[in-house]
Structure 1
Amino acid sequence: MSKLVYDFAEGHKDLKDLLGGKGANLAEMTRMGLPVPPGFIITTDACKVYLASGTQPAEMEAEVSEHLVALETAMGKTLGQSDDPLLVSVRSGAKFSMPGMMDTVLNIGLNDESVLGLAKQANNERFAFDSYRRLIQMFGKTVMGVEGELFEDALDHLKHGKGPAATDLDLDADDLHALVETYKEIVREHAGREFPQQPREQMDLAVRAVFDSWNADRAVLYRRQERIPSDLGTAVNICSMVFGNVSSDSGTGVAFTRDPASGAKGVYGDYLQNAQGEDVVAGIRNTLSLADLEGLDKKSYDELMAIMGQLEEHYRDLCDIEFTIERGKLWMLQTRVGKRTAGAAFRIATQLIDEGLIDEAEALQRVTGAQLAQLMFPAFEENATRERLATGMNASPGAAVGKVVFDSYTAVKWSRSGEKVILVRRETNPDDLNGMIAAEGILT
């Protein structure tokens, strides 16, 4: 069998079939000399074997072990060691972007012993137990099949004890230590077994869960909706952790090299201080605009702006970027050619011609039939007299009218009976995909 595991330094952006979009682009950024945390990629070929046979290929386990040892050597620490643990993320990465449809687990390698070592090394007990509770929450839901709302309810209960407007930042080290114990009890009760303490077992089970997530209901539905072939499989990216939740001069963000709604040049994106992973899109706290980062950490901001320029010139297109800042050090965690509205597609294509990055023939190929159709979406009459009840940020083009519903089940049920509905949620998650497809519009 061909090679099943690639170091980030071994791949490039044209290997998306084998390394998935996320892995191929991490490899490309590594080749460009950008600040990417070290890691390796398990190929889509390994996933296909697993999905066909139900077992991981024997060659894969040996190659993963070999690459893990190399990663440990490069980082000067071993996975989950008690005094100074190497921690890793396990993230999906299919050839075509399927945002939120498949699984991710962060902070793998933490256990009851290594969390104390992390606290000592970082001189920050709160950060260590915050990272541990996140691992148990993600692992419990993704790998062990525990309902995610059980963890969210426990977290909300703890926050409410701090006051009606409390956020996660109001929880101290003792609170988070107690939350870890609560989370472990939730896993014990609802999964029927203990949260695993062996770091390698955590990693192996997470890899298997990512493979399995290729055939999760929401992923199958998304592929059908987006006409993505079902036989591609997903790669798995194993990456050394960098932490946006370690201090106030740390954080996580998403950025676009141009405005994906209008195509205008400028600084677009969101940043969340002292946060990790999906926090920036999950709505746990109000985010800052990317422009606000300049006032908080000009060095990281300037470096990010330079990298965004490099990436757009390299990919010759609008780029969507995920990044983390750990104690003032910028790290790139993902890039891809970004989605955009139809109007933005036209505008960006003409801008790139003017900038000499693409020619007219390629510009015509950049605008799809679906984007042309978007320009025909219904819209409210600009000059019509109406009472505005609320304002917000639009995430997609067009206007929509319907009856308000507050859960995906009702949205699907009413839609099937011929009612037009607007799905209203505090925040959406991948489990809402059925309702989102059924609804005329979504308000969060």
Structure 2
Amino acid sequence: MKDLLGGKGANLAEMANLGIPVPAGFTITTEVCTHYYQNDRSYPKALAADVQRALGRVESVMGATFGDARNPLLVSVRSGARKSMPGMMETVLNVGLCSATIPGLIAKTGNPRFVYDAYRRLIMMYSDVVMEKAGGIEPAEGKGIRQQLDRMLGEMKKARGRASDADLTEADLKELVQLFKTRVRETLGKEFPDDAMDQLWGGIGAVFSSWNGKRAISYRRIEGIPDEWGTAVTVQAMVFGNMGDTSATGVAFTRNPATGENKFYGEWLVNAQGEDVVAGIRTPNPLNEATKNEQNKSLPSLETAMPDVYRPLEAIRNNLEAHYHDMQDIEFTIQEGRLWMLQCRTGKRTGTAALNMAMDMLEEEGIVGQSEGGGSRPVFNPDDRPPFGEPDELKF
């Protein structure tokens, strides 16, 4: 299944089959990527109708409509090769925010600050991934659009006395998105797209284009990944960790990846989206009390701050290890107190951790059998039945 859906799409589908809460979505298979490059970057004729049909299924599940002015659905567009290529491929979040949908989302959520925060994030990602990189624009060092927008964000925080992104007010963010759009137009020579469907297809094309980006090609050469494998594209309903103090995002390993110790290990941030955890903009909170360290010992753990979320997350951790018979690397989002899983994959680990995990799992009933204990496990080199899939090119 990974050959068609990529690691991300296949594992999302598998989690959904296990009854784990996963936002609805669909995956455009690697076969479409192959067609894309074999046919002068054009799509199969049926793809547009297939995407529209699959998007309709997502809308039905999530109870919202993509591009709708009153009840808008937002989506993410993510890459997913059959073997993980960390940091090499592209992702765009909050796709579907535009002048037509912003008022409806504000009315729906009652949270204009959240909406404008999501919009500024979309502008930052989309202008970089779709308009600049996929557009073939190669800026001078330090002059890329993402770097420019990051500097503008930093300048506003400094000028307004805001300690972090989370401290920016609704008024700050409304002003910032207008400044961002002006800079995008001046730098890239075109307006930021103000149509939800244009944004979606721009994101899909950018993910396919990223398969042949310079970094991705170099990584494949080093790792021995064939060019013809291609990438899948997963389009998934957005869930939001940046809706306030009952929302959060985090990453975790089902065991300690450095030592192999059987302790749930990870980090999370309140009122944030996934990129914030790894971006270093704030010190992440520890996942639980058992894994606190000197840097985060004064910060509340998810275990104590949101125990009603932590308990089901720990149950999912146990479920995934039992199912995959290996340590997993997971990503999750909490939207207004509700837990959603966004990814699982075989986790990277040190050589020492790999040995300790193998020995421990041999002794733990229901995790690893005798025949599996000596199997190959990724050492800092991770592996990256759909619930529905109407057309051949679309799964999940």
Q: If the TM-score is normalised by the length of the shorter chain, which range does it land in?
A: 0.7 to 0.9
Is residue 258 of structure 1 aligned with residue 244 of structure 2?
A: no
1:296 is matched with: 305
1:33 paired residue among 9, 12, 19: 19
Is residue 325 of structure 1 aligned with residue 334 of structure 2?
A: yes
1:151 is matched with: 149
Q: What is the deviation of 1:196?
A: 0.9
2:323 is matched with: 314
1:170 is matched with: 167
Given the two structures, how large is their TM-score scaled by the length of structure 1? Answer: 0.78
Moved more, 80-89 or 305-314: 80-89
Is residue 161 of structure 1 aligned with residue 159 of structure 2?
A: yes
Q: What is the deviation of 1:224?
A: 1.9
1:185 paired residue among 182, 185, 197: 182
Q: Any gaps of 5 or more consecutive residues in structure 2? A: 133-143, 289-300, 382-396
1:50 paired residue among 29, 32, 36: 36
Deviation track 1:353-378 (CA, whole Å, cap 9, x = no partner) reads 1114323442222257x78xx9xxxx
Is residue 364 of structure 1 aligned with residue 374 of structure 2?
A: yes
Please give the alpha-carbon distance, in whole angstroms, between the structure 1 residues aligned to 2:100 and 2:324. 44
Q: Is the 8 A contact 1:44 1:233 kept in 2?
A: yes
SS in 1 for 2:94: strand
Moved more, 55-64 or 35-44: 55-64
2:126 paired residue among 135, 139, 149: 139
1:203 is matched with: 200
Q: Is the 8 A contact 2:220 2:227 kept in 1?
A: yes
Structure number, greater radius of gyration: 1
Deviation track 1:37-78 (CA, whole Å, cap 9, x = no partner) reads 001000000011102211111122221111112222222321
SS in 1 for 2:73: coil
Q: Is the 8 A contact 1:26 1:334 kept in 2?
A: yes
Q: Is the 8 A contact 1:349 1:366 kept in 2?
A: no
Q: What's the C-alpha RMSD, in Å, of the aligned pairs?
A: 1.5
For residue 344 of structure 1, what is the amino acid of its counterpart? Answer: A
Q: Is the 8 A contact 1:162 1:170 kept in 2?
A: no
SS in 2 for 1:278: helix
Q: Is the 8 A contact 1:270 1:289 kept in 2?
A: yes
2:115 is matched with: 128
Please give the alpha-carbon distance, in whole angstroms, between the structure 1 residues aligned to 2:17 and 2:228. 29
Is residue 84 of structure 1 aligned with residue 82 of structure 2?
A: no
Deviation track 1:63-94 (CA, whole Å, cap 9, x = no partner) reads 11111122222223211212221100000011
**Are the structure 2 counterparts of residues 22 and 367 from structure 1 closer, same or farther at C-alpha, using a change threshold of 3 Å?**
closer
1:24 is matched with: 10
**What are the residue-to-residue correspondences of 1:275-294 with 2, within 5 Å?**
275-291=272-288, 292-294=301-303
Please give the alpha-carbon distance, in whole angstroms, between the structure 2 residues aligned to 1:42 and 1:220. 21
Please give the alpha-carbon distance, in whole angstroms, between the structure 2 residues aligned to 1:152 and 1:27. 34
SS in 1 for 2:201: helix
For residue 27 of structure 2, what is the amino acid of its counterpart? Answer: I
1:406 is matched with: none
Q: Give the fraction of aligned pairs with identical amino acids, expressed as a percent.
A: 49
2:230 paired residue among 228, 233, 245: 233
Deviation track 1:192-251 (CA, whole Å, cap 9, x = no partner) reads 111111111100110000000001111112222222222110000100010000011101
Q: Is the 8 A contact 1:260 1:341 kept in 2?
A: yes
For residue 78 of structure 1, what is the amino acid of its counterpart? Answer: T
Greater relative CO, 1 or 2 (CA 8 Å, sep 6+): 2
SS in 1 for 2:184: helix
2:268 is matched with: 271
